[in-house]
Structure 1
Amino acid sequence: MSSPAPSVPDNDGGPDNHGSSENRGGRQLFARVATEVLAPWVWALGLPLVVAWQVTGHRAGAALLWGLVVGVTGSLIPMAVIVRGARRGKWDGHHVANRAGRLVPLAFCFASLAAGFVILIAGGAPHEMVALTAAELACLVVALAITSALKFKISIHAVVAAGATVMLVWVCGPWLLLLVPFLAWVCWSRVELAAHTAAQVVSGALLGAVVGGAVYFGLLAAIS
């Protein structure tokens, strides 16, 4: 009797589960990098500093003063409160993954930035800084209304990134259209990480670009 033929691994071109897992892991890592590096607080801190540098004629002292007024009240203080609340279990993580948990952070961010807005007015800040802060406040109001009234978890990552991109292109020139791929990256990351649906991300980007842009340009035209 002949010995049985040795078994041959089945290689019919089907999916490689190990390879798929590696690819999925790589995509997730790439998405997490975008979510953290291009987080709202990063844009909200960098944007006013860049705008202030441009509108003050590259005077470091004035740029730091007005840029930090907006950056601290609109980014650092709210982020500190959000991180602290997340550690205490008041909401889900420092990106506030649960929609219901977003109401308090958004309201606090508005109150903090509103204080910065008052400082700008009282201190005679450049009109562009006033308009920028008003645009951020308007986006926060609309995002808060959508989140609470419509119970729709609009992407704040997309809101801030899109609004910042529009304003930076206007203030610094068309070469900053180079930011558009980064905007797309962070928007994709939120969907890839299942933090948002595509509709929530697209809605956020439209809110940031349209509402933020309209308030910025409209107010700037009115007060200049």
Structure 2
Amino acid sequence: MTQMEITVRGSHSVYAPPQRATASLQVAIDGPTSDEVFAGVNRTAAAVRESLEPLHRPDTGPVTWWSSDQIRTWANRPYHDEGVQLPLVHHARLGFQVKFSEFVEMGRWISGVAALPGASITGIEWALTADHRTLLVAQVRAAAVRDAESKAKEYAAALGVTTVRAIAIADAGMLGEGLHPVTASGASFARMKSSDNGGVEFAPQDVAVSADIDARFLAG
């Protein structure tokens, strides 16, 4: 039988409990004067920074890293429902990003800062440590290659061919000139509820680590 090419896509995913969480906090205050809203955001931001100082220990946590933006201010004249332009309203915003290694402590911190004027949690991103993610990526890539080989053998067997040989392997979408890789990413979410110690208790879903590869085989 003449040799034929078989091109397949191999995929694999694993799911691991999150080891890190980055909480996004926004301080937002609106008011009739720029001085008032600027001072209000500054007061809340100072309280947030003060709450982070005893928790921030880069090597041991519970806060391994945090950052804040510059205060942004602007003003606009809103309109009444009847189309009448209302007095000028001033706005001030400031954002924080805080990475936690301990989720119980994160819940306590969120409960405290959420009570500050103008403060609100806008999102939580769950993640793995860099070393653990690197290990899992290597594992899922190898498993994706095995998945592609298994598919190629199944196609070949359907034609009565018993041997296949890999001649090209690439990131998904790269087996062709001018193509670009297709990346797969897994999202993770969490359920939240109040805990007995007055904090917020989280039940995060596992973090997905996925790999997709394209492979070309010669069968026959």
TM-score, shorter chain, exceeding 0.5: no
TM-score with structure 2 length normalisation? 0.24
Larger radius of gyration: 2
More helix by share: 1
TM-score w.r.t. the length of structure 1 is 0.24
Greater relative contact order: 1 or 2 (C-alpha under 8 angstroms, separation 6 or more)? Answer: 2
